[in-house]
Structure 1
Amino acid sequence: MHPIDSPSCKDTLQHTLKLLQARFAQIPDMRQQGKVLHRLDEVIMVALCAMICDCESFTGMEDFAQTQLVWLRGFLVLKHGAPSHDVFRNVLLALRPQALLDILTGWCGELTGKHVAIDGKTLRGTYSAEQGRHLVHLVRAWVDECSLSAGQVVCAEKSNEIEAIPRLLDSLSLSGATVTIDAMGTQGAIAEQIHAAGADYVLALKANQKGALQAVEAHFKEQMQTSATGIRQCRSETLELSHGRCERRSYAMTDQLDWFHKSWKWAGLQSVAEVRRSIQRNHESPLLEEVHYFLCSFKADVLKLAALVRGHWSVENRCHWVLDVTFGEDHCQVRDVNGAHNLSILREMTLKALRTEPSKLSLRRKRRRSALDPAFRLQILSHLHT
C-alpha cells in the first residue's frame, strides 16, 4: 500500500484539501453569477494543482484540467467539466491579489522574533516595448525562518521601491521582528517607521547616503583599538570552504556613536557595522574583496549581525532565483498587473508545498513526478496547511 493510501493519511489529506478550498471559497467573487459556470474556489484549486505539476500557462492549466478531470473530481465537484484557458485567464486577471496574498501570508504566523528581509524583483516578462519599461516590480517582505512572504506590494520600477517599502511595512505587524533592507530602503523615514512599529532594523549603507557612508567608512578605516581610543568594537571572523571557493568574512561593530554626527537621522540607531568579504575562487583567480557598511538598531552583537546579513540573501537564492530558474517566472508574458501578481503568488504557494514535502528530490523533479504520479501529487498537496 502506498503511504498516501492509508486511511489516516487519506483523512488528513481530505481535511487539508477542505481547509484550503474553504479559504479559497472566502475570496469575494466579483463575476456576474448569471454569466459564469465554474466556481471561483474550484478554478483556483485547479490552477494551483496545475502549477504544482509544471503547467504554468493558462493553456497549460486547461490541458491539466482536461487530462486530470477524473482525479480532480476526487475532491472537487467541477459540475461543468474542466475550465478552459479563458476561464483561468479571466479569473486570474480579475482576482484581487491581496485575497490570495492573505492566504499565503497567513502561513507565516506572527512575526515576533523573526527575520523579515525586504527586497524587490522585476517580472521581466512584463516588459512593454510601447511604454519602454517593465510593468510589474514586486517588493517582498520575506520571512527567513518560514521561507515565505509576509507581504508584497507592486510598483512600476525598482526606483519606486522608496515609495513602495513604506506601504509594505505599514501592512505588516512588525513588533518584535528584525527587518533588513538593501541600500534603496536606507532612508530616515523608513528607519523611523520600523522603529515606531517596535521592530529592529539592519540597513545597508551605500552612496545614496553619502555623508553617513563617509563618516562610517572613515571610522572603520582608522582601525582604532579599544585601549587607545576608548571606543568599544566587537569583531568576529568566519572562513568558509565550498565548491572550490574560499570565502573569509570579518565583522566589526561599535555601539559607541559619539563620533557619528549623522546618527540623529536614524531613529533607534544603536550601532554601526562593517563587513569585509574576501573571496578566492581558485589558485589562479584574483582575490576579490568587498566592504559593506550597515546601520543597526540593536547593541553591538556580531553573531546576530552575521546571521542577519547572511539571512537577508535568502530572499534572492531561496525565492527570486528559484522562481526564475525552476518556474521560469521571467519568461511569463502575462503583462496584466493583477494577472502577473496572482501567478507569482501561486508560484510561491507551490514553492511552499514542494519544499515542505520531505523527500530528497529536487524541486524540478518533484514537479515532474507530481505530473506523472497522482499519489505523489496528493502527498505534495497534503503539506499545504492553512
Structure 2
Amino acid sequence: MQSAPKKTCQLIVDSGNHYLGALKGNQGNLFKSVQANFVAQQSYSEFTKGHGRVERRVVSLCTTLENIPAWPGLESLIQVESQRHFLKGGRDRWETETRFYIASCIESAESFAQRIRGYWGVENKVHYVRDVTQGEDASRIRMYQLPQIFAVARNFALNLYRSNAFSNMAQAQRFCQFGLDTLKLLFRMK
C-alpha cells in the first residue's frame, strides 16, 4: 500500500507540477536511505542574525539517487544543516540540527535555500499566529462543528489586521476584541 505522502507526490507530478517537501522519520526507508547515501554535489551557506541568535545554515544538494527507493518524480535530495548560537540563562548555547528535503525538480542549492526559508516565513506569519495568538490548536471545535469555517474566520481576521497596518497580531486582536466598531473606527482614520 502506498503511503499518503507518496500518493500526494504522485498527484502533484501527474498534474504537471513540482514538489519540495520535508522528509521526516515516519517515511522510514526513504528517510534512512537518504541519510545513509547523501553525498553533497553542491552547497550554499548563509548566516543570519536576529532574535538574540546567530545562525549558520548550509544547504547541500544531491542529484545522485542510487540506493534511494523509488519515489514519484524524485530528482533532488536536499540537506539543511543549521548551527545556532544564542544566550540562554546567561550561558552560551549551541544547537545543531540536520533536516532533509526531497524535490521533483533540479535547482541550485541557493535556490532551494531561498524556497525553504520562504516556507518558514509562511509558517511563522500564519500558522504560528493562528496557533499561539488565536489558540487554534487548543480549540475544542471538532469535526461536527465544521472547523474549516472557523479557520476561514481566523484567516479573515488576520487579513483585516494586516490590511489595517498591524504588525503585531496579538495587539491587533486585543484592540479589536470589543467588536467591529473598532474596525469601523480604523477605516474612518484612513
For residue 56 of structure 2, the aligned residue among 237, 248, 252 is: 248
Write the distance in 2 (CA, Å) between the matches of 1:215 and 1:331.
Answer: 36
> In the alignment, does 2:184 pair up with 1:366?
no
Alpha-carbon offset, residue 295 of structure 1: 1.3
> How many residue pairs are counted as aligned between the two chains?
183
Q: Which moved more, 1:333-342 or 1:235-244?
A: 333-342
Alpha-carbon offset, residue 373 of structure 1: 8.4
Where do 1:71-90 residues align within 5 Å?
none
State the Cα deviation string for residues 233-254 of structure 1 (Å, max 9, x = none): 1210011111221111001102
TM-score for both structures, normalised by structure 1: 0.42
> In the alignment, does 2:117 pair up with 1:310?
yes
Matched with 1:213 is: 31
Alpha carbons of structure 1 residues 372 and 309: separation in structure 2 relative to 1, 3 Å: same
State the Cα deviation string for residues 129-172 of structure 1 (Å, max 9, x = none): xxxxxxxxxxxxxxxxxxxxxxxxxxxxxxxxx66xxxxxxxxx
For residue 78 of structure 2, the aligned residue among 268, 273, 285 is: 273
Alpha-carbon offset, residue 351 of structure 1: 0.9
Three-state SS of the structure 2 residue aligned to 1:238 is strand
> In the alignment, does 2:172 pair up with 1:354?
no
> In the alignment, does 2:3 pair up with 1:198?
no
Q: Is the 8 A contact 2:37 2:68 kept in 1?
A: no
Alpha carbons of structure 1 residues 215 and 333: separation in structure 2 relative to 1, 3 Å: closer
Q: Is the 8 A contact 2:175 2:182 kept in 1?
A: no
Write the distance in 2 (CA, Å) between the matches of 1:280 and 1:362.
Answer: 26
Three-state SS of the structure 2 residue aligned to 1:266 is coil
Alpha carbons of structure 1 residues 380 and 250: separation in structure 2 relative to 1, 3 Å: farther
Name the % identity. 26
Alpha-carbon offset, residue 318 of structure 1: 1.8
Where do 1:159-308 residues align within 5 Å?
185=5, 187=6, 189-220=7-38, 233-257=41-65, 259-262=66-69, 265-282=70-87, 284-308=91-115
State the Cα deviation string for residues 62-119 of structure 1 (Å, max 9, x = none): xxxxxxxxxxxxxxxxxxxxxxxxxxxxxxxxxxxxxxxxxxxxxxxxxxxxxxxxxx
TM-score for both structures, normalised by structure 2: 0.79
Three-state SS of the structure 2 residue aligned to 1:200 is coil
Write the distance in 1 (CA, Å) between the matches of 2:157 and 2:73.
Answer: 38
For residue 337 of structure 1, the aligned residue among 118, 141, 144 is: 144
Alpha-carbon offset, residue 364 of structure 1: 3.1
- Name whichever structure is richer in helix by fraction: 1
State the Cα deviation string for residues 277-330 of structure 1 (Å, max 9, x = none): 111112834421111112111113212211222222345322232123322334
Matched with 1:320 is: 127
Write the distance in 2 (CA, Å) between the matches of 1:298 and 1:219.
Answer: 19
Q: Is the 8 A contact 2:78 2:102 kept in 1?
A: yes
* Aligned-CA RMSD value: 2.9
Write the distance in 1 (CA, Å) between the matches of 2:159 and 2:71.
Answer: 36
Report the structure number with the largest CA radius of gyration: 1
Write the distance in 2 (CA, Å) between the matches of 1:346 and 1:376.
Answer: 15
Alpha carbons of structure 1 residues 323 and 375: separation in structure 2 relative to 1, 3 Å: closer
Q: Is the 8 A contact 1:234 1:300 kept in 2?
A: no
Write the distance in 2 (CA, Å) between the matches of 1:206 and 1:339.
Answer: 29
Q: Is the 8 A contact 1:274 1:291 kept in 2?
A: yes
The unaligned stretches of length 5 or more in structure 2 are none
Alpha carbons of structure 1 residues 343 and 209: separation in structure 2 relative to 1, 3 Å: closer
The unaligned stretches of length 5 or more in structure 1 are 1-161, 164-184, 224-232, 382-386
